[in-house]
């Protein structure tokens, strides 16, 4: 403890804390520009100077720790004069163009000038100006406004690690910019706009759209991946009468809304809320344009004479109700299937499954995707819900698969930060694109796509051979170890180099690092478990993590899928073989739910083809577009008697539907979502609906009501217009690990759902046969499906902001391979595999291993599925110009 | 006459070679040092009373003693050879004429603090000096004065030459360290001081060339022999660089405390062409100018400070009656504006502003109040900057206005120069 005197007031504080923090806590204001709690200390703006008795010069309070007996003045004449002179210095070269500056109203320079500057100007010389520079598609640099606080360059060095913005030139000519003034390529650059205390870095997508004081802010959750960052969505009534309206709002009168429309104009990071610390990825920050899009479904549509025409809710709902009722009556409940999306809220999904189980009477519920997991595997995933916070402080990080980087950039960024700033041991096993490669030292495990199971088998082998497992497996759990080892007979580390491309040393040292870590973490995403072996991979991962003790004590595993609420939809029982809370279908806890397991998506497609399935209810998914074999899915769906689609857009699947119902975006609805940690978070209504749509769960409820069934809530007939609270209440009663969940308990930081009560089955033997690398001299390259970091599905494909950000449908070719083929960036090439060919624009990169070609499969313009023979799995190929 | 410390053998044309150096007793001090304990070497340094020759005058022995004895990171010696202040050319003489003396000092310093390597951060324009140093290092390795197990005493040590890229700020010790690390050279926050976390976060001493080149003398003759030269509180021999309007501009190694008048009129041969002395900048560009009636000052840290200026690096710039103070100060103001690293607000913005105001005054475009304005800007810089660069610019400008305000006023009033008219 230290006793310090602050402006004559004696206070006891912890020694070593910064004067700035101590003074602010004690209620004394100290202005700052360069200081940011989450960035390194720079102490360069000199706004926070204070006077300390016995020290010759004023001291920067942001860089000076308190010491016992210190006497500090924050408002002495010297301090006041120093502040005023810093502001004078900053303003002599500033363009003073506040009237047209986006930052006006939330500008630190404005605010501090207002508060601390002396009146009058003494500068009559020419102001310093810099040339205009192209900063890429999302950023416009107004660098003449820059005050050189270097928050942006510190962010890019310390947090994103991509050095996208740095300091150019020296002294008075110091300019923040990109190396060689080249357009910026970074998925985190939007954060520098938010960090900029003045209007020097502006968002091209927000420029001149609004005065900031006209914006209405709502704290909600980003829908674009499973991290679930806390964002503040800012919307505005766009109207000629906007100002008038705002006044009437303040006066408490209801404004006339007829001629106004509301739009989301920007998203900003809610720093310090939930999992969020300064950063959003640009997909999340700029992915709001689809909400404002004019191509959204505006009203229900019904197929008449083969064409979808606008209809009314009443007509559409009664058609759906009668059609579903008649199919159920004639062909049985099993002939109806329902698919939903990992993007829908918990409420949506809960009501959806309840409708299918209680009203239709079937377990035919699924989420289409690149993998399909049974209940036992999904239960294993419950043990792989590590915390983002853990990644930040881990000392050993293994990333399995490329999609952690492309699908959940924030998690990947934290891994990079841990490695860069704290020297954490970062190991990556990425058969495709490695987005962490550019700036982060790491050990790279080169493995051949398709050998994921072998990678895990090899690591497990190395753990067992090196006795790197938890002590107990050598003793009382030896039997369990034997169970695991029984499946590894086919794994001989020495062969792997040839078979899976794995170096023995790499595998052994990785196993050792994971074992020796005091705080380890393994991250994996969709692409690592995709394919036919999903179940085995998950089970093998579970075995490996169990042996290593990565079940929370010394290490964690984190499954980080692309879909924003995939974890929540699993919790809600969107599956053919389990109910909400992972209750097995047919078990005695299942109660009145149908006893037979339903069809998963892979079974629904053939069932539709051969007539076993007659109707499909689609909530927020577009399998025709996202399927790895589009023709097969389309043909199957065409066979169906009846298709209902509720969505935001006229998707490829909706085009086939008999009834299309307009849903609402995350910004227009409330509800809860669950992130990859199992953190239940709250969506809030950022704006009134732009279309005559309804929340997904409300549509289902209304369909049920039209069928004469009561769905809400607790099976009574109470129908309320906006009943999320009631739905959530029912969820918390039904799903044991959501028992504590209420809107109040969630708050803005979210509430961790507690899955510890769900018992895991004993370890199982997973038979792993070493992957055999296939080779074909006519097809020398490995073609691997990849993902565009700025896109992740139906919403993003219709988001003009994200389409602007995306580099476009590019085929990634490794630089030396490109050179061997005489390729340069932007060339059009043809990729040929045995399954098909694809023409596209090439992008040369060092982020992949030689011999690998990455083709994004989440870019609708690129018909990449043709290359993979309907499996979205790696294949052999070659390039032709 | 007092034996010279750093320039004793610079007149010997073969001194730069290892043979020449050995003939004149080169590396004898190293042999002696390696037979002592590191602490004994540091004690001799303390006993010598030597203060840093880079300009700040911090006691060198004390600086060395700050280095922790035990460290889990390697320790380093950084030799600051980024000699870039206008008027300074003392280190260059040592580097070019007697590189082995410097190397010997760096090796002994490394032994004293337990360092694994020494880095010579040298001004990029010193092409010839770099060549000489690199050759000398090669020779020293061949003779076993560098490398593994030096002189069979079990001490391993390497020296690297790192060339700067032309930034004056890289002479500031922490900016120098950043620059060696491959970063943009800008001053770091202190604490931690380099002695605790310097180069690559290891304990580091940063010493000037002249300081390190004095080490062999101190080791060979004992700290007391050095300490008895010159004034008690700033003892030793010091190289003074005299430039400007003198008959014999050049480098003079003289005892500390030699009066400025003696340096100018006896050693440097007096004012060129018998003209009248107008002003003297006593210690490099950032030190406030002195008038002719102040040159009886003794050239040591404390005496010069007592009359409101600084001895700095000992770079004496002499101006005769034909010099325009406004123009001279403009040149220096432009220097500081150009060399400000841009990190902190007052230096980045203020130095350029001062240069613009003085430019106007000099060009006859000055307005009433401009002198007060530039003085106030200088005051607003002083004491608020991140590192001493801005302070230097501020002191230099204020010093000139304090002493030669009439010349500035003449420029504004008559739109011409007082000297030319």
**Are B384 and A85 in contact (CB < 8 Å)?**
yes
pLDDT in tens, A761-809: 999 999 998 877 778 899 999 999 999 999 988 899 999 999 989 988 8
Please indicate, yes or no, if residue B331 is contained in any of the structural domains: yes
Chain B residues with CB-CB distance to A147 below 8 A: 345
**pLDDT(A648) > 60:** yes
| CB-based contact A568:A582 (threshold 8 Å) | no
All structural domains of chain A: 2-92 (3.10.20.740), 139-286 (no CATH), 301-371+566-666+691-715 (3.40.50.740), 377-559 (3.40.228.10), 781-880 (2.40.40.20)
Tokens (6 digits) for A254: 């209801």
* Listed residues B227, B256, B277: the one ending a domain: B227
Please indicate, yes or no, if residue B311 is contained in any of the structural domains: yes
Residue A771: per-residue pLDDT: 79
Residue B324's alpha-carbon distances to B278, B399, B419, B420, in angstroms, are: 9, 15, 6, 8
Q: Which residue of B has its CA nearest to A91?
A: B349
| CB-based contact A206:A102 (threshold 8 Å) | yes
**Are B349 and A92 in contact (CB < 8 Å)?**
yes
Interchain CB contact of B380 with A (< 8 Å): yes
Element (H, E) at B42: helix B38-48
**pLDDT(A257) > 60:** no
**Nearest CA-CA distance, residue A185 and chain B, Å:** 22
**Are A58 and B383 in contact (CB < 8 Å)?**
yes
Residue A540: per-residue pLDDT: 97
Taking only Cα atoms into account, the Rg of chain B, rounded to an integer number of angstroms, comes to: 22
**Which domain does B209 fall in, by range?**
18-227
Cβ pairs bridging A and B (under 8 Å):
87
Chain B residues with CB-CB distance to A49 below 8 A: 384
- pLDDT by residue for chain B (421 residues), tens digit each? 789 999 999 999 999 999 999 999 999 999 999 999 999 999 999 999 999 999 889 999 999 999 999 999 999 999 999 999 999 999 999 999 999 999 999 999 999 999 999 999 999 999 999 999 999 999 999 999 999 999 999 999 999 999 999 999 999 999 999 999 999 999 999 989 999 999 999 999 999 999 999 999 999 999 999 999 999 999 999 999 999 999 999 999 999 999 999 999 999 999 999 999 999 999 999 999 999 999 999 999 999 999 999 999 999 999 999 999 999 999 999 999 999 999 999 999 999 999 999 999 999 999 999 999 999 999 999 999 999 999 999 999 999 999 999 999 999 999 999 887 5
Question: What is the distance between the alpha carbons of residues A787 and A860, in angstroms, rounded to a whole number?
Answer: 11
Calculate the average pLDDT of chain A. Answer: 92
Q: Are residues B256 and B335 in the same domain?
A: no
Question: What is the distance between the alpha carbons of residues B311 and B231, in angstroms, rounded to a whole number?
Answer: 14
Residue B67: per-residue pLDDT: 97
**pLDDT(A360) > 60:** yes
**Are B349 and A172 in contact (CB < 8 Å)?**
yes
Chain A residues with CB-CB distance to B340 below 8 A: 170-172
Q: Are residues B329 and B316 in the same domain?
A: no
Nearest CA to A819 out of A846, A792, A787, A840 is that of A846
Residue among A45, A56, A171 whose CB faces B341 most closely: A171
pLDDT in tens, A712-747: 544 443 444 467 788 999 999 999 999 999 999 999
Please indicate, yes or no, if residue B1 is contained in any of the structural domains: no
Q: Are residues B174 and B273 in the same domain?
A: no
**Nearest CA-CA distance, residue B84 and chain A, Å:** 16
**Plot region of A656 (φ>0 → left; ψ -120 to 50 → alpha; else → beta):** alpha
Please indicate, yes or no, if residue B348 is contained in any of the structural domains: yes
Residue A721: per-residue pLDDT: 47
Question: What is the distance between the alpha carbons of residues A169 and A330, in angstroms, rounded to a whole number?
Answer: 78
**Nearest CA-CA distance, residue B192 and chain A, Å:** 11
Please indicate, yes or no, if residue B5 is contained in any of the structural domains: no
**Nearest CA-CA distance, residue B318 and chain A, Å:** 29
Residue in this structure with the two tokens 């986006």, named with its chain if needed: A102
pLDDT in tens, A330-340: 999 999 999 99
Tokens (6 digits) for A44: 């360069």
Q: Which residue of B has its CA nearest to A50?
A: B384
| Residues 305 through 344 of chain B touching chain A, CB cutoff 8 Å | 337-344
* B25 C-beta neighbours (distance < 10 Å), count: 13
Residue A718: per-residue pLDDT: 40
| CB-based contact A602:A374 (threshold 8 Å) | no
Q: Which residue of B has its CA nearest to A49?
A: B384
Residue A21: per-residue pLDDT: 96
**pLDDT(A247) > 60:** no
Q: Are residues B281 and B348 in the same domain?
A: no
Residue in this structure with the two tokens 């409940």, named with its chain if needed: A333
Tokens (6 digits) for A523: 């991250």
> At B307, which CATH number?
3.10.20.600
Interchain CB contact of B229 with A (< 8 Å): no
Residue A711: per-residue pLDDT: 63
Task: Give the ipTM.
Answer: 0.95
**pLDDT(A251) > 60:** no
Residue among B337, B348, B383 whose CB faces A148 most closely: B348
Among residues of chain A, what percentage have pLDDT more than 90? Answer: 80
Please indicate, yes or no, if residue B421 is contained in any of the structural domains: no
* Listed residues B264, B296, B320: the one ending a domain: B320
Tokens (6 digits) for A80: 């006041």
Residue A719: per-residue pLDDT: 42
Question: What is the distance between the alpha carbons of residues A473 and A125, in angstroms, rounded to a whole number?
Answer: 77
Number of structural domains, chain B?
3
Q: Are residues B119 and B143 in the same domain?
A: yes
Q: Which residue of A has its CA nearest to B390?
A: A171
Mean pLDDT over residues A643-648, rounded?
A: 98
Q: Which residue of A has its CA nearest to B347?
A: A171
| CB-based contact A404:A559 (threshold 8 Å) | no
Chain B residues with CB-CB distance to A125 below 8 A: 353, 356-357, 360
Please indicate, yes or no, if residue B232 is contained in any of the structural domains: no
CA quadruple A28, A34, A40, A43: dihedral sign: negative
Among B184, B343, B374, B379, the residue to mutate for chain A (most A Cβ within 10 A): B343
Chain B residues with CB-CB distance to A169 below 8 A: 342
Q: Are residues B157 and B118 in the same domain?
A: yes
Residues on A contacting B at a C-beta cutoff of 8 Å? 41-47, 49, 56-58, 60, 63, 81-82, 85-86, 88-90, 92-93, 122-123, 125, 128, 147-148, 167, 169-174
Give the largest CA-CA distance in chain B. Answer: 73
**pLDDT(A79) > 90:** yes
Among B164, B182, B344, B360, the residue to mutate for chain A (most A Cβ within 10 A): B344
Q: Are residues B147 and B272 in the same domain?
A: no
* Listed residues B197, B227, B257: the one ending a domain: B227
Q: Which residue of B has its CA nearest to A176?
A: B342
Q: Are residues B315 and B341 in the same domain?
A: no
**Are B345 and A57 in contact (CB < 8 Å)?**
no
Residue among B184, B352, B386 whose CB faces A44 most closely: B386
Q: Are residues B125 and B36 in the same domain?
A: yes
Q: Which residue of A has its CA nearest to B335?
A: A171
pLDDT in tens, A498-531: 777 788 899 999 999 999 999 999 999 999 999 8
Q: What is the pTM of this model?
A: 0.94
Residue among B339, B360, B384 whose CB faces A46 most closely: B384
Nearest CA to A188 out of A411, A429, A349 is that of A411
Please indicate, yes or no, if residue B7 is contained in any of the structural domains: no
Q: Are residues B165 and B267 in the same domain?
A: no
> At B350, which CATH number?
1.20.1440.230
* B149 C-beta neighbours (distance < 10 Å), count: 11
Q: Are residues B310 and B331 in the same domain?
A: no
Chain B residues with CB-CB distance to A172 below 8 A: 337, 340, 342, 348-349, 351-352
**pLDDT(A46) > 90:** yes
**Are B353 and A56 in contact (CB < 8 Å)?**
no
**pLDDT(A239) > 80:** no
Nearest CA to A545 out of A473, A475, A444 is that of A473
Kindly report which listed range (A191-195, A367-371, A484-488, B416-420) carries the lowest average pLDDT score: B416-420
**Are B342 and A89 in contact (CB < 8 Å)?**
no
* A763 C-beta neighbours (distance < 10 Å), count: 19
**Are A172 and B346 in contact (CB < 8 Å)?**
no
**Are A167 and B380 in contact (CB < 8 Å)?**
no
Q: Are residues B60 and B163 in the same domain?
A: yes
Question: What is the distance between the alpha carbons of residues A570 and B94, in angstroms, rounded to a whole number?
Answer: 76
**pLDDT(A758) > 80:** yes
Residue A84's alpha-carbon distances to A148, A200, A765, in angstroms, are: 17, 21, 72
Residue in this structure with the two tokens 């023995």, named with its chain if needed: A504
**Nearest CA-CA distance, residue A553 and chain B, Å:** 29
Taking only Cα atoms into account, the Rg of chain A, rounded to an integer number of angstroms, comes to: 29
Cis bond before residue B192 (omega within 30° of 0): yes
> At B67, which CATH number?
3.40.50.11540
pLDDT in tens, A446-498: 888 889 999 999 999 999 999 999 999 999 999 999 999 999 998 888 877 77
Interchain CB contact of B121 with A (< 8 Å): no
**Are A89 and B353 in contact (CB < 8 Å)?**
yes
């Amino acid at each position: 403890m230290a006793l310090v005197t602050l402006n004559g007031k004696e206070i006891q504080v912890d020694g070593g804390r910064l004067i700035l923090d101590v003074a602010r806590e004690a209620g004394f204001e100290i202005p700052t520009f360069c200081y940011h709690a989450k960035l390194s200390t720079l102490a360069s703006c000199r706004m926070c100077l204070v006077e300390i008795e016995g020290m010759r010069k004023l001291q920067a309070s942001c860089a000076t720790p308190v010491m016992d007996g210190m006497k500090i003045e924050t408002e002495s004449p010297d301090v006041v004069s120093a502040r005023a002179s810093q502001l004078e210095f900053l303003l002599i070269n500033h363009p003073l163009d506040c009237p047209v500056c986006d930052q006006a109203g939330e500008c630190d320079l404005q605010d501090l000038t207002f508060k601390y500057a002396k009146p009058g100007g003494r500068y009559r010389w020419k102001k310093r100006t810099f040339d205009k520079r192209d900063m890429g598609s999302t950023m416009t640099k107004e660098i003449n406004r820059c005050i050189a606080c270097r928050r942006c360059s510190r962010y890019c060095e310390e947090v994103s690690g991509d050095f996208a913005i740095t300091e150019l030139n020296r002294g008075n000519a110091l300019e923040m910019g990109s190396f060689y003034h080249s357009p910026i390529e970074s998925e985190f650059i939007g954060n520098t706009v938010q960090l900029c205390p003045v209007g020097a870095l502006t968002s091209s997508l927000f420029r001149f759209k609004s005065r900031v004081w006209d914006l209405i802010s709502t704290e909600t959750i980003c829908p674009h991946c499973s991290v679930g960052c806390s964002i503040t969505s800012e919307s505005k009534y766009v109207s000629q009468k906007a100002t008038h309206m705002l006044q009437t709002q303040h006066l408490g009168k209801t404004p006339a809304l007829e001629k106004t429309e509301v739009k989301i104009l920007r998203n900003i990071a809610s720093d310090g809320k939930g999992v969020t610390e300064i950063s959003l990825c640009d997909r999340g920050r700029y992915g709001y344009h689809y909400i404002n899009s004019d191509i959204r479904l505006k009203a229900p549509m019904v197929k008449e004479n083969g064409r979808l025409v606008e209809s009314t809710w009443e007509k559409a709902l009664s058609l759906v109700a009668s059609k579903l009722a008649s199919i159920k009556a004639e062909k049985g409940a099993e002939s109806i299937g329902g698919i939903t999306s990992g993007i829908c809220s918990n409420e949506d999904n809960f009501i959806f499954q309840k409708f299918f189980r209680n009203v239709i009477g079937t377990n035919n519920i699924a989420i289409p995707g690149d993998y399909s997991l049974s209940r036992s595997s999904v239960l294993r995933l419950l043990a792989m819900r590590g915390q983002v916070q853990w990644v930040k402080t881990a000392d050993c990080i293994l990333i399995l698969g490329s999609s952690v980087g492309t699908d959940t950039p924030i998690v990947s960024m934290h891994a990079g930060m841990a490695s860069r700033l704290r020297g954490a041991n970062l190991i990556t096993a990425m058969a495709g694109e490695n987005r962490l490669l550019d700036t982060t030292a790491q050990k790279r495990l080169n493995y051949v796509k398709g050998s994921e199971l072998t990678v895990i088998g090899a690591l497990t082998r190395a753990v067992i051979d090196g006795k790197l497992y938890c002590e107990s497996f050598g003793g009382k759990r030896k039997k369990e170890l034997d169970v695991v080892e029984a499946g590894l007979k086919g794994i001989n580390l020495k062969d792997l180099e040839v078979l899976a491309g794995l170096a023995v040393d790499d595998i052994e040292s990785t196993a050792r690092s994971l074992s020796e870590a005091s705080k380890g973490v393994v991250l994996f995403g969709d692409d690592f478990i995709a394919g036919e072996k999903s179940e085995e991979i998950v089970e093998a991962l579970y075995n490996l993590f169990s042996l290593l003790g990565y079940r929370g004590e010394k290490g964690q595993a984190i499954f980080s899928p692309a879909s924003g609420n995939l974890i929540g939809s699993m919790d809600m029982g969107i599956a053919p073989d389990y109910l909400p809370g992972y209750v097995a279908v047919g078990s005695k806890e299942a109660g009145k739910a149908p006893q037979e397991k339903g069809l998963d998506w892979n079974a629904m497609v053939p069932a539709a083809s051969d007539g076993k399935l007659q109707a499909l209810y689609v909530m927020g998914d577009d399998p025709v577009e996202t399927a790895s074999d589009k023709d097969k899915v389309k043909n199957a769906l065409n066979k169906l008697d009846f298709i209902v689609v509720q969505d935001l857009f006229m998707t490829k699947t909706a085009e086939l539907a008999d009834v299309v119902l307009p849903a609402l975006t995350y910004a227009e609805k409330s509800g809860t979502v669950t992130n990859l940690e199992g953190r239940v978070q709250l969506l809030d209504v950022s704006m009134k609906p732009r279309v005559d749509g309804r929340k997904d769960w409300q549509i289902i409820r209304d369909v049920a009501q039209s069928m004469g069934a009561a769905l809400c809530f607790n099976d009574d007939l109470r129908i309320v217009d906006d009943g999320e609270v009631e739905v959530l209440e029912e969820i918390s009663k039904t799903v044991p690990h959501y028992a504590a969940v209420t809107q109040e308990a969630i708050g803005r930081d979210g509430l961790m759902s507690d899955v510890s009560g769900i018992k895991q089955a004993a370890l199982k033997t997973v038979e792993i046969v070493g992957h055999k690398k296939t080779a074909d001299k006519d097809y020398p390259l490995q073609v691997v499906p990849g993902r565009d970091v700025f896109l992740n599905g139906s919403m993003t494909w219709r988001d003009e902001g994200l389409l602007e950000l995306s580099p476009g449908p590019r085929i990634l070719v490794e630089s030396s391979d490109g050179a061997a083929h005489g390729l340069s960036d932007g060339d059009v090439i043809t990729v040929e595999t045995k399954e098909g060919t694809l023409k596209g624009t090439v992008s040369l990169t060092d982020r992949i291993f030689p011999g690998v070609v990455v083709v994004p499969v989440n870019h609708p313009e690129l018909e990449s599925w043709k290359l993979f023979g309907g499996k979205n799995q790696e294949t052999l190929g070659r390039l032709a110009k | 006459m007092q034996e010279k410390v750093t320039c004793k053998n610079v007149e010997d044309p073969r001194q730069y070679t290892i043979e020449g150096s050995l003939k004149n007793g080169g590396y004898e001090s190293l042999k002696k040092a390696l037979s002592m304990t590191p602490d004994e070497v540091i004690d001799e340094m303390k006993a010598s009373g030597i203060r840093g020759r880079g300009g700040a005058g911090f006691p060198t022995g004390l600086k060395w003693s700050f280095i922790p004895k035990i460290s889990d990171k390697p320790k380093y010696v950084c030799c600051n050879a980024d000699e870039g202040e206008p008027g300074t050319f003392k280190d260059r003489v040592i580097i070019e004429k007697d590189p082995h003396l410097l190397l010997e000092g760096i090796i002994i310093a490394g032994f004293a603090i337990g360092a694994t390597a020494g880095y010579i951060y040298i001004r990029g324009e010193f092409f010839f000096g770099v060549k000489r140093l690199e050759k000398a290092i090669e020779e020293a390795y061949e003779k076993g004065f560098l490398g593994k197990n030096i002189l069979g005493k079990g001490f391993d040590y390497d020296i690297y030459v790192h060339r700067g890229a032309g930034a004056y700020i890289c002479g500031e010790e922490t900016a120098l360290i950043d620059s060696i690390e491959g970063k943009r050279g800008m001053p770091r926050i202190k604490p931690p001081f380099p002695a605790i976390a310097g180069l690559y976060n290891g304990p580091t001493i940063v010493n000037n060339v002249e300081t390190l080149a004095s080490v062999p003398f101190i080791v060979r003759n004992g700290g007391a022999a050095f300490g008895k030269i010159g004034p008690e509180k700033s003892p030793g021999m010091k190289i003074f660089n005299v430039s400007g309007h003198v008959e014999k501009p050049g480098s003079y190694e003289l005892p500390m405390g030699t009066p400025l008048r003696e340096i100018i009129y006896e050693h440097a041969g007096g004012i060129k062409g018998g003209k009248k002395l107008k002003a003297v900048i006593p210690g490099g560009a950032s030190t406030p100018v002195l008038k002719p009636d102040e040159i009886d000052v003794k050239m040591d840290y404390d005496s010069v400070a007592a009359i409101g200026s600084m001895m700095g690096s000992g770079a004496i710039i002499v101006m005769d009656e034909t010099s325009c103070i406004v123009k001279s100060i403009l040149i220096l103001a432009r220097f500081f504006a150009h060399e400000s690293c841009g990190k902190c607000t007052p230096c980045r913005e203020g130095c350029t502003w001062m240069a613009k105001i003085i430019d106007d005054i000099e060009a006859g475009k000055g307005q009433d109040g401009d002198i007060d304005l530039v003085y106030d800007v200088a005051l607003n810089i002083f004491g608020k900057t991140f590192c001493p660069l801005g302070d230097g610019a501020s002191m230099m400008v204020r010093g000139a206005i304090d002493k030669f305000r009439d010349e500035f006023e003449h420029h504004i009033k008559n739109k011409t120069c007082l000297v030319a008219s």
